[in-house]
Amino acid sequence: MELTESFDFKRGRGIVWVCDIENSSKYLNDSDHVDYLENFLTRFHWFSRRIVRAAGGKYIKWTGDGFLAWFECPLKRDLKKLSDMVFEAAWNTTFITNITQMALESDIRISVRNAMTFEEDALITDIDVNGNKSIDILGRAVVLCFRLSSIV
């Protein structure tokens, strides 16, 4: 079978949302809690895809212990309305996750961390490898958003 690849690039502006699980590395390296965290992460992965889509965003990627989401905002005049939707989605994600613990019981409590930035000049890459399509996004505010999400 011949490998077919295509990469299409475009520019965009929008809100970047990074969400991740606090202390995930600690729990993944703890034999007493690794099973719990793995179960939590699979449920959180499923849940987070739906909440991003419900808020009107694109789920760019799962990062192993969280996600990167993109909310395109071609017109700056729409930024307030869009940012309100993203903040509400982040609040709901945090609230539901922290309260329900994804319906799992453990002696540890999992918390999520959120960061949002406005990316003025994103390089958006649409990737197609043998019919498997994905999207990636690069930009200074994307990198900043990942850094901000790690601040406790």
**Count of domains in the chain?**
1
Name, in order, each residue with C-beta under 8 angstroms of 56's C-beta and a sequence gap of 6 or more. 71, 82, 85
pTM metric for this prediction: 0.94
pLDDT at 45: 98
Q: What's 39's domain CATH number? A: 3.30.70.1230
Strand partners, 132: 129
Query: Around 10, how many Cα atoms within 13 Å sit in the side-chain half-sphere?
Result: 8
Report pLDDT digits (tens) over 55-67: 999 999 999 999 9
Asked whether residue 3 carries a pLDDT value surpassing 80, the answer given is yes
> Which pLDDT band holds residue 152 (cuts at 50, 70, 90)?
low
In angstroms, the CA 146 to CA 110 distance is 19
Using an 8 Å Cβ cutoff, are 43 and 97 in contact?
Answer: no
Q: Can you give the residue range of the structural domain that contains 93?
A: 5-149
In angstroms, the CA 132 to CA 51 distance is 23
Mean pLDDT confidence for 109-120: 97
